[in-house]
Amino acid sequence: MSRVAIIGGHGKIALQLSQILTSRGNEVTSLVRNPDHVPDVEATGATGVVADVEHLSATQIAEAISGHDAVVWSAGAGGGDPDRTYAVDRDAAIRTIDAAQLAGVMRFVMVSYLGAGPDHGVPEDSSFFPYAEAKAAADEHLRASALQWTILQPSRLTDEPGTGGITIGHESGEVPREDVAQVAARVLERTDAAAATVPFIGGAVPIDNALGAIFRIA
């Protein structure tokens, strides 16, 4: 059994991940900014904690996640406001990475997006540019940290039922959020998933098999 802290615990992926993890006997703490979201979080079997990481210091975040075995970043500003996008998707994510190191919670899974990175190629006049820049900075900060990190790069997300299958690669496509949650749950269980970036779309390869291939495990 592991203790997992999920940042952005009321998100669609986070709620499904929480349910998966608790059903497997893990303890989950879901951090949310809105007290009204606590009942939804706790319906998955998690413990809801009101902690708005956008406005907390790294030290305060460290206090909230101390004692856990892993952190999953699944938060996001949701677009629309560039300043808030940078505040959440870049600055709060970076503080959370620093907080994990302060708290000694060395396992860290980042939910990013397919194509994220310094060479994302999104034009500056695109409404997506602040998010692309923010995620590039946060992901690079994580890679440079001392944490045992895994960065998930799913393609365009849908609310379709999960299939239990994915395809590893950078091809354009889409993937159900349910399958992203399953991938996150599985990489948390694997000891060979550290220092790995996992780009994927929906597909027919069972998740365990697909991850086994990328991590070079049969």
Q: Which of 73, 108, 113, 131 is catalytic?
A: 131
CATH of the domain at 175: 3.40.50.720
pTM of the model: 0.96
The residue segments making up the domain with residue 52 are 3-214
Question: What are the tokens at 178?
Answer: 């349910």
60: helix, strand or coil: helix
Place of tokens 């599985």: 186
Question: What are the tokens at 158?
Answer: 């849908």
pLDDT tens per residue, range 49-108: 999 999 999 999 999 999 999 999 999 998 889 999 999 999 999 999 999 999 999 999
- Give 50's strand partners: 32
Q: In the chain, how many domains are there?
A: 1
pLDDT tens per residue, range 119-160: 999 999 999 999 999 999 999 999 999 999 999 999 999 999
Closest CA to 93 of 25, 161, 141: 141
Is 131 in the active site?
yes
Question: What are the tokens at 7?
Answer: 């940042």
User: Quick check: 29 and 6 in contact, CB under 8 A?
Assistant: yes
In this model, does residue 161 exceed pLDDT 80? yes
Q: How far are the Cα atoms of 44, 56, 89, 154 from residue 138, in angstroms, in the given order?
A: 28, 17, 7, 16
Place of tokens 């703490």: 29
